[in-house]
Structures are given as structure tokens and as C-alpha cells.
Amino acid sequence: MNSCRPLSGSLATLVLTSVLGPTDLEARDIHYGAVDHPDVIACDRLYWRGETQESTVCYERLLRSRAPLSVKAEAAWALNDLKTANGIFQQVLREQPDDVVSRTRWGDLYAASHNYGEAMNIYREALSTDSSYAFARLGAARVLVGSFDDAANQYLEPLLTGSDVAGGARTGAWLLVARLALENGDRDKALAALEEAEGFLTTNDWPLLEIYALRASADLLNNDSDSPWTARSLKYNPSFGGIYSIPAHFYVIMRRYRDAIDLYQQAIDIEPGLASAHEDMGVNLLRDNQFSRARRHLEIAHDKDPFSPKAVNTLRLLDSLENFRLVDDPAVPGKAGELPITLRLHKEEAAVLASYAIKLTRESIAEFTERYDFELREPVVIEMYPDHEDFAVRTSGMPGLGILGATFGYVVAMDSPSGRSPEEFQWGTTLWHEMAHVFTLEATDHLVPRWFSEGISVFEEWRSGPNRGVRIPISVYLAIKEGRMLPVAELDQGFVRPSYESQVIVSYMQAGLVCQFIDQKFGVEKLTALLYKFADGLKTLDAVEATFGITADEFDREFRKFVESEHGHILDNLDQWHRTQLTMMQRFDASEWNGAIDAAEQMLDVFPNYTEPDSPYLVMASAYEKLGEQESAMATLETFEARGGYEPDALMRLANWMYGQGRIAESIDVMQSVIMVDPLDQDVHGKLGDMLLESGDAAEALREFEVALALEPHDKATAYYRLAQAYYQTGKTDQARDTLFLALDVAPGFRPAQRLLLELTRSDTDIH
């Protein structure tokens, strides 16, 4: 399979220097005075008005003229001849290394070419020459705005509050603040920032296009789709595609992908050369399962902006999909009452995963349809990627994403179990989580806030998922203890704009706990009621009050009490828990089995639900085994499993012990939960199939044996024999005979297969 990797910084530089010449005139950001040469401004004003041909002539004239080199660099850039622009900037800075204006514009060129690392280096160089140069600060702030450590703020804050800041740079800073505020859902803050920005622009006759676009975005996020700012923008510049593509970006953040697609199309209709709109259109069409249209737009985007790694990565991903297979259920469309499900699985693992994925998806649909009172209206598409970077590109257009699954509506993309070790990834739980998103998104036309959709998904993992149990990482408890939970009205920020690295996982768990709190205190019907308040367009503050009859502040107070009562004992004893964990491991390593058990028990008194791969349950069970106390080891693992433990080797030991005691049905249940974590172990499928046959469930046994065979087992004779048994017991005698042939072809001396052949033949003879 092709792996998708981004263009590295150095490679992007090479690409920058190898572009052969100007292409179509591209969208170049309004610089608000970072460039002050009147000849450049004159050409720019034509461009900003949408007078494309006139501006092209103007820039070309500048490029041919005897204007200063820095002017020519701007002209080349405006003509999309980035190689020439880069070369000219380099020449300027060789001759005048202290020219911070040109150096900053050079950094802006790199940023516009998606080479953010290099851009940042250049901004730092400019600031080392002139630490107060505002446009360099602005460039750095724009690059850093996605980081956790608040680095952007150190550049942004002085621009907003400093006394001697260039008006254009301050304006750019307020526009950045407005964008961030809109991403955080803070409309009031965004509008206030736009007010700050507008004054300078109006006074100095700069175009208000970005203001119009952000105001239109604010209106759209307020469900006002007929914004007057759109008309104003089109009047000023009828071909400014940003009036649609900028609001579309906010729709994407809110997961309103189809609305975003419509806006991107409108952007492209008026500005066909807008590469970013084509690119984002392509990425979002993929989220809506429209692959052919997506490819067309991505190819256009790549043609117009060959530096963008997102288009390249996504196109490579599309190429790699030839290695995937589509599995439809039902196989024959139109079967009454069954919502169609389509799986997109890698061809090497489709035969292994398909039946489990379909079964689990159907179970989730049944569960959530009833619970959330919503019938899905469209087929569901589930995609699993063995290569995590392919999944990351599928989701965001870029590798390096830290999540395991993503839902775009009726399309779910996730890692395949083959892409991660069983210790770190429970594929069944992830699929369950994502299917809950399908419901919360579609039931509310994607109006559900991120926190609540995640909260329900996490809650459903704990409550109804294939490996049930409340699992909260220690790091989250530490964050709760440090007072890092957010008020419910601000919980979205923990996902969209995290301020510290683990805030996303903390927000996930907090959201899950909020849903658990609602379920326990107010009842499950209130959980559903809250969901539909969001469907009505209410924001969190109003939705909470309307659903529960209390203010959000009171809700937060009650929630904190709930957390304290449910988890206070853990929170109060975390330090001691850690120390005891160290003691337990030291004793275990020293073969002090009873001592290790004592320590494990102390840990479990504090935190009985801790079932991660380093759980004290596992140490305790191993210690009991060393002492020869199998019964105690079994009891320990049974508790571990009941509380959501999923470590496959431990669960297989438990299943084998249960089988040895004749507890077949329980053993089967445990092995089926192992498959929800590790479906790729052929031994598990073989053993499970044997048990299912023994318990009379030949149909399920048949599925297990088919999967075992798809895993290309080492012992083929046994795999074929088992399959033949299941075929025979399900009445498929012809298939049984054909499969027995395969078994005996490998091993003619295989007595069980010989006996089955005889039995099959005799029963055929009896019938006939």
C-alpha cells in the first residue's frame, strides 16, 4: 500500500524553487500595509476589486520595470511565479540583510506556500534585527496559533495592546482574534474584534473583504444564511471567493460538511482559481463519500497550488484505495427493513473484519435508534485503514493525527485493528463510539455541539459498548484534581482549541462524565431531550436551562458534586495509589507473590475500575498463578473483564480456564470480547469456533472458521477440517465435502477428517 506522507519542509523548499513559471493569478492575502510601495498598492487595489486582467497587466509591467527588487518580488508573487519571487527576495536580503520588511514578506511567502517551519525561522530572523517589527510578529502569530503552549499569544498580545504598532499589523491581529473567537463559538468576541479592525481599514481605504467574510461567518453560525455582508462583498469584488470559503471553514469546524461543500462550490463558481477552495471542497466531498467529485477538485487544487501537502496526500490516498474492497450489507440491495451498510476494508483483511464490523454496526444501530429515538435516513459507510497515516489523511488531509476514528455524518473512518497493537486500541469500542456520533450528528442536522456528541459517544462506550466499563486514564484524574475541568458552556473549547496537550482527552472524559451525570441524576430521557434541544438550534447555555430547568452554573455545581461523590476517593488517594503501584511492581519483580497481591488489593480499594494494560488485576492474577491458586486468578480476571478489562492474553487465559471448568457459554462471551480488541489472532477464532460447535451454534462457528481461514493459518488441515464440520452441521454437505478434500489434500493421514468424510458419505447414503 502507498503510504501518504506530507512534503517535508526541505522538500517543500525544493518544490518552491522548481516551479517553472507563473500560472493563473492566485489569491494572495491582503497585506494591510506590510508592503507600502505605491506601485504595488496600485496593482493590488485592482486585484482586490476583482479586476483580474487589469491587475495582471499591472503586475507584469512592474516586473519588467526598473522598480526596486522588493517591488518586483511582490509582483512575481502576485503573478504566482513563486520561484522568481523567492529568488528576488533572496537577492534583496543578500544585498540588504537588515531589510526587515522584505525579510518578513519573504516569510509570508513561505507561509503562503505551506512551509510554516521555514516561515517561522524567517520571522525570527526579522525580529532579531528589529524586535518590534509588527508585521513579523503578526506572521509568527498566524503560524503559531495552533500550538498548545500559548506561543502565539506572546506575539499577538503586544500587537493588540502596544502603543506604537503599525495600524495594518494591529488590524491583522484583530482579524486573527476574530477568526479564533469564531472557531471557539464566541460570536460576541469575534464581532468586537471585527469592530476594532474595521476602523483602521475604513480610515485608510483598505478593502473590507475579510471583515465581510468573517461577519458573514458569524451570521451563518447564528443560523442566518442570508447575510447582508455577502452582498456587500460581491458588490466590492464579485470574484472574491473568500466570501464563501471563509464561512465554509467554520461550517467544517462544526462538522456541517454538506453546508460547507455548498459554500465551497459557490466560492469556486465566482473564483475558479481559488486553490484552497478546491482543496477543501475535495477533502469535504470525501467526507460525504463523493469520491469522483473529490478527486476532480483535488487535482485542480494540486495543479494550482503544487506546494500544498494536503492535496498531494489526499490524492495519494485516493490512489491507494485500489487496495481496498467494498463490502455491502445486505449484499443484495433493497432487502426490506435493513439499512444498507457499506464497508471499505483493505482487501487483505476484508474477509477477516467484515462480518464482525457489520454485526457490531447493526447492533449499534438497533441500540441507538431506540435510545435516541432516531431512524437513520441514509446508508452508513465504515472505512478501516491499516495504515494510520492514511486514516489521518482521510480525516484531515494531513498525517500526524492523534485520534483513532472520525465521523463525518454517515461516513465513519477509523484505524483498522491491524494498524495498532491490541494494548492501545479496541477497534470494537472505537466503532461503537463512532456509530454514536452518526446518531448525534444526524439527529441534530449536525447542530450538536462537539462536547455533547463526544460525551454521548464516550458514555455509550462505557454503558453499552462491546467492552463495557468506565475507563478513565490516570492523567485525566490528575487534571480533574488540578481543577482543569471546564464549565459545560465552555467544554467545546477543550476540543477545538486545547490550551494544554492533554486537554483533548480530559475533555473527552469530562464530556462522558457529564452524560453519565445527566443519566444518573435526571434520567436517560433527559439525555435525549438535551440532544433535541441542540437540534432546535439552541446553544449549550440555553439548552441546559431549557432541559433541566437550572442554569448552567448550577448544572456545573451539581456536576462537580457528582464527580466528587463518584470519584472523590480516587482523587484524594492518587499519590498513594502511584506509590503502591511502584511497590506492587517491585514485589512482583522480586517474586514476592503475596506481597504483590497485597499491594494490588490496596490499589483496587482506591480504584477498582482501573483496567488498563498495567492494571493491578493483571498483576494480581499472575501472582495467584505463580502461587498455583488458579481459582483466585480466575476470579480476579473475571472481575477485570466485568469492569471493562480488555487485555487479550489475560482474557484468553480466563476463557481457557472457563472452558476447562465446563463454563462454555461464559468462555464464548469472553472470547467474543477478545475479538473486539484483537480480531487477527487465528487461534482465538479456531478455539471459539470449536466452542460454538460444541454448544450447538454451528452458524456462528462457521463464521469463526471462515475468518480463521482468511487469516492464512499455519495449520491449514485443521482449519479446513473445522470449516467442513461447520458446513456439515449447517446442512451444507457439498461445501463440507469440498472443504474436506482440501484438508485431506494437505494431510491425508488426518483421522478426524477421514472420519468426517465417512460420516458425511454414510449420511448421504442414508438419505438417498
Among all chains, which residue has been given the C-alpha cell 517491585?
586
For the CB of residue 455, give the shortest distance to another protein in the complex, in Å: 31
For the CB of residue 549, give the shortest distance to another protein in the complex, in Å: 51
Residue of the chain from 680, 729, 732, 735 that contacts another protein (CB under 8 A): 680
Q: Is 325 in the site for another protein (CB under 8 A)?
A: no
Q: What are phi and psi of 677, to 5 degrees?
A: -110, -45
Residues in 697-716 that interact with another protein by CB under 8 A: 711-716
Q: Is 461 in the site for another protein (CB under 8 A)?
A: no
Pick between residue 168 and residue 386 the one whose CB is nearest to another protein: 386
Which long-range contacts (C-beta less than 8 Å, at least 24 apart) are formed by 65-73? 65/39, 67/37, 67/39, 68/37, 69/95, 70/37, 70/99, 70/101, 70/102, 70/105, 71/37, 71/39, 71/40, 73/102, 73/105, 73/106
Pick between residue 526 and residue 737 the one whose CB is nearest to another protein: 737
- What is the distance between the alpha carbons of residues 439 and 482, in angstroms, rounded to a whole number? 34
Q: Is 763 in the site for another protein (CB under 8 A)?
A: no
Pick between residue 347 and residue 579 the one whose CB is nearest to another protein: 347
**Binding-residue pattern over the window 485 to 524 for another protein, x denoting contact by CB under 8 A:** ----------------------------------------
407 by DSSP, 3-state: which? strand
Q: Is 2 in the site for another protein (CB under 8 A)?
A: no
CA atoms within 13 A on the CB side of 123: 25
Closest CA to 70 of 86, 54, 58, 81: 86
Burial of 482 (0-12, 13-18, 19+ CB in 10 A): exposed
- What is the distance between the alpha carbons of residues 183 and 197, in angstroms, rounded to a whole number? 18
Pick between residue 306 and residue 419 the one whose CB is nearest to another protein: 419
For the CB of residue 733, give the shortest distance to another protein in the complex, in Å: 13
For the CB of residue 199, give the shortest distance to another protein in the complex, in Å: 56
For the CB of residue 429, give the shortest distance to another protein in the complex, in Å: 18
CA atoms within 13 A on the CB side of 142: 27
Are the CB atoms for 113 and 30 separated by under 8 Å?
Answer: no
Which long-range contacts (C-beta less than 8 Å, at least 24 apart) are formed by 287-292? 287/257, 287/408, 287/409, 287/411, 288/257, 288/258, 288/261, 288/408, 288/409, 288/411, 289/381, 289/410, 289/411, 291/318, 291/321
For the CB of residue 505, give the shortest distance to another protein in the complex, in Å: 22
Q: Is 418 in the site for another protein (CB under 8 A)?
A: yes
Are the CB atoms for 510 and 485 separated by under 8 Å?
Answer: yes
For the CB of residue 526, give the shortest distance to another protein in the complex, in Å: 43
Are the CB atoms for 190 and 214 separated by under 8 Å?
Answer: yes
For the CB of residue 693, give the shortest distance to another protein in the complex, in Å: 17
Among all chains, which residue has been given the C-alpha cell 463495557?
468
Concatenate the DSSP letters of all residues of 595-618 into one string.
HHHHHHHHHHHH-TT--STT-HHH
Pick between residue 280 and residue 678 the one whose CB is nearest to another protein: 678
Calculate the alpha carbon distances from 442 to 366, 374, 437, 725 in Å: 15, 9, 8, 44
Residues in 344-373 that interact with another protein by CB under 8 A: 346, 348-349
Are the CB atoms for 600 and 617 separated by under 8 Å?
Answer: yes
Q: Is 189 in the site for another protein (CB under 8 A)?
A: no
Pick between residue 487 and residue 595 the one whose CB is nearest to another protein: 595
Pick between residue 462 and residue 720 the one whose CB is nearest to another protein: 720
Q: How far is CA 169 from the centre of its chain?
A: 34
For the CB of residue 744, give the shortest distance to another protein in the complex, in Å: 5
**Binding-residue pattern over the window 366 to 405 for another protein, x denoting contact by CB under 8 A:** --------------------x-------------------
Q: Is 628 in the site for another protein (CB under 8 A)?
A: no
For the CB of residue 352, give the shortest distance to another protein in the complex, in Å: 8
Pick between residue 572 and residue 745 the one whose CB is nearest to another protein: 745
For the CB of residue 616, give the shortest distance to another protein in the complex, in Å: 20
Q: Is 557 in the site for another protein (CB under 8 A)?
A: no
| Contacts with another protein, residue ranges (CB under 8 A) | 346, 348-349, 386, 418-422, 591, 678, 680-681, 711-718, 737-738, 740-741, 744-751, 753-755, 757-758, 761
